[in-house]
């Protein structure tokens, strides 16, 4: 069955139901079980945010991006449209664009529209079918552009396909870098430096420090889409690990922690309860949280310092008038 092949460590082309071959390095189901059980056995309890992005979670995230309270996507789109020509000039001609966490590849099109003779596009995402559709749509819109989707967890080592290009530009929009602690982010920036090589560059979206009330609204939207996105993690554990979380007994919460400068998303147990996952029993007391996501907000100075630790130098910074968000171009120092 497909399940077995999926665990194969070697990249393989999968042309089932699709025009584009997809390099499938998706994490095995056993990774989810191991990570979930490990995270729920610690105090405080945690679950890795990368598991938000199954196909439904990726769809819910796109709904978040369209919310009036969720300023990052809207603002990054404004910045990207306004400065696309400058961004493309920084990337240079015949560049291969390697995008980490490509989702629906919406912002990518703005960059691709301005790049001179792009050599190819490699979207990397953990949600296989969502990636397949996004990559096929994008390839149809850019005839002649080589598009090689890679289903992978980019927080783990992976080897991207090699395509002929003058240089590699790693594209990492959305401030996904904010999901990592400073140590993890520094490590990821080093990995990115390896991916882009000595002549390459990094075009990255970085969310900035701001009024905590603006942040609180962005992560506690009125329609409850962020809550649904957060709770979908438990639905996924129920489905894929035969867990028995009662979704009515957990509540979405997002709190701003000023010292590290981050939003922390949690799923809070409404009462004392026990949950079964893969022949283990996990007990919760009333009000006990599972931490599901960090979203760090940086000053320009903080981010530049972290990049320097990883051997990268900020060459260009583009922001909106209110300085809510930034897009930055980095190369090796
Ligand atoms: C795309 C991961 C950066 O942290 O703001 C949105 C995910 N979480 N609402 C973020 C998210 C809650 C988003 N990232």
The rounded Å distance from CA 263 to ligand 1 centre is 10
Residue 174 pLDDT > 60: yes
pLDDT in tens, 30-73: 999 999 999 999 999 999 999 999 999 999 999 999 999 999 99
Q: Which long-range contacts (CB under 8 A, 24 or more apart) does 68-71 make?
A: 69/217, 69/218, 69/220, 69/221, 69/222, 70/218, 70/221, 70/226, 71/214, 71/218, 71/324, 71/325
Binning pLDDT at 50, 70 and 90, where does residue 3 land? very low
CA–CA distance, 22 with 293 (Å, rounded to integer): 28
Question: What are the distances in angstroms from CA 273 to CA 230, 244, 246, 286?
Answer: 19, 11, 10, 8
Nearest-5° Cα angle at 205, 326 to 132: 150
Q: Is 173 in the pocket of ligand 1 (CB under 6 A)?
A: no
Contacts of 218 (CB under 8 A, 6+ apart): 69, 70, 71, 72, 263
Query: Ligand 1 atom closest to Cα of 175?
Result: 3
Residue 184 pLDDT > 60: yes
Q: Is 64 in the pocket of ligand 1 (CB under 6 A)?
A: yes
Binning pLDDT at 50, 70 and 90, where does residue 161 land? very high
pTM value is 0.94
How large a percentage of the chain has pLDDT more than 90?
A: 92
The rounded Å distance from CA 142 to ligand 1 centre is 28
Q: Is 293 in the pocket of ligand 1 (CB under 6 A)?
A: yes
pLDDT in tens, 83-138: 999 999 999 999 999 999 999 999 999 999 999 999 999 999 999 999 999 999 99
Mean pLDDT lowest for which of 3-7, 150-154, 223-227, 233-237?
3-7
Q: Summarize the confidence of residues 255-273 as an average pLDDT.
A: 98
Q: How many CB atoms lie within 10 A of CB 298?
A: 22
> Considering only CA atoms, which residue is closest to atom 2 of ligand 1?
176
CB 67 within 8 A of CB 223: yes
Pocket perturbation via mutation, ligand 1, pick of 66, 221, 267, 295 by most ligand atoms within 8 A of CB: 295
- Residue 313 region by backbone torsions, left for phi larger than 0, else alpha for psi between -120 and 50, else beta: beta
Residue ranges in 93-181 assigned as alpha helix (H)? 106-114, 128-141
CA–CA distance, 100 with 152 (Å, rounded to integer): 9
> Considering only CA atoms, which residue is closest to atom 14 of ligand 1?
176
Contacts of 136 (CB under 8 A, 6+ apart): 18, 19, 20
Query: Ligand 1 atom closest to Cα of 49?
Result: 2
Give the residues across from 269 on adjacent strands: 250
């Amino acid at each position: 069955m497909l399940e077995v092949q999926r665990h194969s460590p070697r990249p393989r082309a999968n042309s089932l139901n699709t025009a584009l071959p997809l390099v499938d390095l998706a994490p095995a189901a056993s990774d989810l079980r191991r990570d979930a059980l490990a995270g729920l056995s610690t105090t405080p309890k945690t679950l890795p945010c990368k598991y938000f992005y199954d196909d439904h979670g990726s769809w819910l995230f796109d709904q978040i991006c369209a919310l009036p309270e969720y300023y990052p996507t809207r603002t990054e789109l404004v910045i990207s449209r306004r400065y696309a020509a400058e961004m493309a000039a920084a990337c240079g001609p015949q560049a291969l664009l390697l995008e980490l966490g490509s989702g629906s590849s919406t912002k990518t099109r703005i960059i691709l529209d301005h790049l001179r003779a792009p050599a190819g596009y490699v979207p990397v995402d953990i949600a296989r079918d969502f990636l397949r559709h996004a990559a096929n749509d994008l390839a149809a819109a850019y005839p002649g552009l080589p598009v090689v989707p890679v289903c992978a967890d980019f927080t783990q080592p992976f080897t991207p396909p090699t395509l002929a290009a003058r240089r590699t530009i790693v594209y990492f929009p959305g401030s996904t870098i904010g999901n990592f602690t400073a140590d993890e982010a520094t490590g990821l920036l080093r990995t990115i430096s390896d991916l882009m090589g000595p002549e390459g560059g990094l075009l990255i979206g970085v969310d900035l420090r701001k009024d905590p009330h603006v942040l609180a609204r962005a992560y506690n939207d009125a329609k409850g889409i962020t809550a649904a996105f957060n709770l979908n993690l438990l639905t996924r554990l129920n489905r894929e690990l035969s867990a028995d979380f009662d979704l009515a007994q957990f509540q979405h919460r997002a709190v701003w922690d000023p010292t590290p400068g981050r939003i922390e998303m949690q799923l809070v147990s409404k009462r004392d309860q026990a949950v079964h996952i893969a022949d283990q029993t996990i007990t919760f007391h009333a009000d006990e949280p599972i931490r599901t996501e960090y979203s760090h907000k940086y000053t320009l100075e903080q981010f530049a310092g972290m990049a320097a630790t990883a051997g990268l130098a900020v060459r260009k910074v583009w922001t909106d008038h209110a300085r809510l968000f930034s897009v930055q171009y980095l190369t090796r120092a």
